[in-house]
Amino acid sequence: MSELLLNGGEFLIKDTDFNLNFIPEDLNEDQEMIRQSVRTFVEQEVLARGNDINEQVSLLQEAASLGLLGSHIPEHYGGNPLDTFSNTLISEELGRGEASFNTTLAAHTGIGMLPIFYFGSEALKLKYLPGMCNGSIKAAYCLTEPGSGSDALAAKTQAVLTDDKNAYLITGQKIWITNAGFADVFIVFAQVDGTKFTGFVVDSHLPGISLGAEEHKLGIKGSSTRQVYFDKVIVPVSNILGEIGKGHLIAFNVLNIGRYKLGTICMGGTKRLLEMAIRYANERQQFDHPISSYGAIQFKLAESAIRIFALESTVYRVADLMEDRKIVSTQSGKDAATAMLTSAEEYAVECAIIKISGSEIIDYVVDELIQIHGGYGYSEEYAPARIYRDTRINRIYEGTNEINRMLIINMILRRTLKGQLDLVGPAWEVQKELTSLPSMNLSDEDYALEIRSIKDFRKMVLMVAGAAVKYQMDGKHDLKTQQEILINVADMIIDLYLAESIVLRIQKLKGKYPEKLTDLHESAMKVFFWDAQARLVKNGQDALTSFASGDELRIMLLGIKRFSRYEPVNVKAHRRRIAEALIVKKSYCF
């Protein structure tokens, strides 16, 4: 398995065998039972109470009784470990609930628990993790400060060693702290000796800790968000997480799996929102017909479903990569925490793609939900208005989408420089290909056009990214100051990855589950490829014209044309086909 497993970012230069790719249709009966159990909890409890700030603790306790708080933690520490696919299902189904409770639970199980699981001493793990799994200990993560958001390492909170060297005195202020109002323990980041960014586990009841009032937020009003103040709080040296000065490893690594889960939660939310949109469109009559019968509304429903399909195909593809990597790591002798940490770290690029895609797709879907509801969608008396406000945070936390886009490029370049990813050779081959005659032949395999287009899209990305990097190496620009170019290239990479995930899923459906493959799948694929190609072309052109000129620019613009050969499709007909299925089924149709 390890020989066949793609490394992080290798989708840019290597094909994936669709037979080895996991798709949602591969989920087994036990995993589907987990889905149903979580959905029942969401429908019976979370939707009724999840937006009430006074219900968060009791809902966490109920989630603990179902095993939802410790599904990623070994039994030795009080958990009930499940595979990555089952944990993905849990996140997806929770996404169908209330965003406030999702925020509460995710902050506890992710950024609250994982720093201890990944980096805590054995004593810290045994002290805190069992209570975190059973709900008796609630966690919060104190990273952001008034003057340091995306630039987390610029934190001003200080940790000063006491004279007896047995403890640190922590002084500072943290802001936007989820779960602060009821947390029993804080994960706190502070500067040791003024500059050594370090993580600590801090009990919330200690003298010197005080809380601000609940923040008045745009959305997720049912979650607790407060400032936390530390005034010479005495924290034992045994409560240090990892190594002094290595807090950045904690802060950044816990965000990888957090980004993956956030995108997955958003995916679950989009399915519920789509159901709400279909139901209203079917019920709302205008001009003696349900508005779902009109093309303008059908476009919105179908486009929502197509984007969800792309996201879903990608989410389970990455779940498979992380699960396989975790198994390989465990078989090589690594403990559970290290295996989980390194699997998410390996696929940090892919996790960022899912975070960006999930948060932006749910924003698209909820925006169309408002539009379909018309004036009623704008009224606070109806659910869409609140959901619209709730979803907006997804593009901000776990790293803003702009930061994540630049991280995608940064992580790919870093892997290249470390020799973990060979982009130089393939990028050079693309440059040489620009001066040769293109082959117009298609293979006779299924979905040959899409398969060729993936190869073309890949070449387009390598051409644009390679040119931008070469300009940097030649001293013609500094990419650190060219964020627009980085974002252009990141968006190209995102479209490439989602498009490839779709065709891999459909190839496997045809080969393994032909009875489940319908013309709806192929319609979704064709529309997505046509639209993705247009976005790739636009982003590639925008990036190239930002730094290249003259004959060099003209050659590369011709290259973009050369690598955009996906044939025109009747997108209206394909979308209408999908919309009709949605209207009849009254839910997501894939």
What contacts 105, CB < 8 A, 6 or more positions away? Answer: 59, 60, 63, 68, 69, 94
Integer angstrom CA distances of residue 44 from 37, 50, 497: 11, 11, 36
At position 337, the amino acid (one-letter code) is A
* Cβ count within 10 A of residue 397: 21
As a whole number, mean pLDDT of residues 185-192 equals 98
| Catalytic-residue membership of 398 | yes
Beta bridge partners of 141: 187
- Which structure tokens are listed for 441? 């032949």
Phi, psi (degrees; rounded to nearest 5) at 531? -70, -40
Per-residue pLDDT at 360 exceeds 90: yes
Phi, psi (degrees; rounded to nearest 5) at 234? -85, 115
pLDDT of residue 4: 66
- Which structure tokens are listed for 142? 């104190």
- Which structure tokens are listed for 271? 């399915």
Residue 435 — very low, low, confident or very high, per pLDDT cuts 50/70/90?
Answer: confident
Residue 153 — very low, low, confident or very high, per pLDDT cuts 50/70/90?
Answer: confident
pLDDT in tens, 464-517: 999 999 999 999 999 999 999 999 999 999 999 999 999 999 999 999 999 999
- Maximal CA-CA distance, the chain: 82
pLDDT in tens, 526-546: 999 999 999 999 999 999 999
As a whole number, mean pLDDT of residues 24-37 equals 97
Residue 1 — very low, low, confident or very high, per pLDDT cuts 50/70/90?
Answer: very low
For residue 9, give the 3-state DSSP assignment: coil
pLDDT of residue 148: 86
What is the Cα–Cα distance from 119 to 98, expressed in whole angstroms?
A: 31
Place of tokens 């219900």: 55
pLDDT in tens, 250-294: 988 999 999 999 999 999 999 999 999 999 999 999 999 999 999
Per-residue pLDDT at 440 exceeds 80: no
Per-residue pLDDT at 297 exceeds 50: yes
Q: Which of 487, 453, 447, 451 is nearest to 468 (CA)?
A: 487
Per-residue pLDDT at 436 exceeds 90: no
- Which structure tokens are listed for 575? 């979308």
What contacts 352, CB < 8 A, 6 or more positions away? Answer: 259, 399, 404, 405, 407, 408, 411
Per-residue pLDDT at 444 exceeds 90: no
Q: Which of 452, 506, 39 is nearest to 312 (CA)?
A: 506
Phi, psi (degrees; rounded to nearest 5) at 546? -80, -20
Residue 115 — very low, low, confident or very high, per pLDDT cuts 50/70/90?
Answer: very high
pLDDT of residue 3: 55
Domains with residue ranges and CATH for the chain: 29-134 (1.10.540.10), 139-244 (2.40.110.10), 248-403 (1.20.140.10), 420-570 (1.20.140.10)
pLDDT of residue 29: 97
What is the Cα–Cα distance from 544 to 466, expressed in whole angstroms?
A: 11
Work out the mean pLDDT of the chain and round it to a whole number: 96
What is the Cα–Cα distance from 287 to 180, expressed in whole angstroms?
A: 51
**Is the CB of residue 41 less than 8 Å from the CB of residue 63?**
yes
At position 556, the amino acid (one-letter code) is M
- Which structure tokens are listed for 470? 């070469």
What is the Cα–Cα distance from 211 to 229, expressed in whole angstroms?
A: 6
Which pairing describes strands 209-211 and 285-286: parallel, antiparallel, or unpaired?
A: unpaired
pLDDT of residue 378: 97
What contacts 476, CB < 8 A, 6 or more positions away? Answer: 547
Catalytic residue (choose from 145, 398, 450, 500): 398
Integer angstrom CA distances of residue 217 from 224, 394, 574: 10, 13, 40
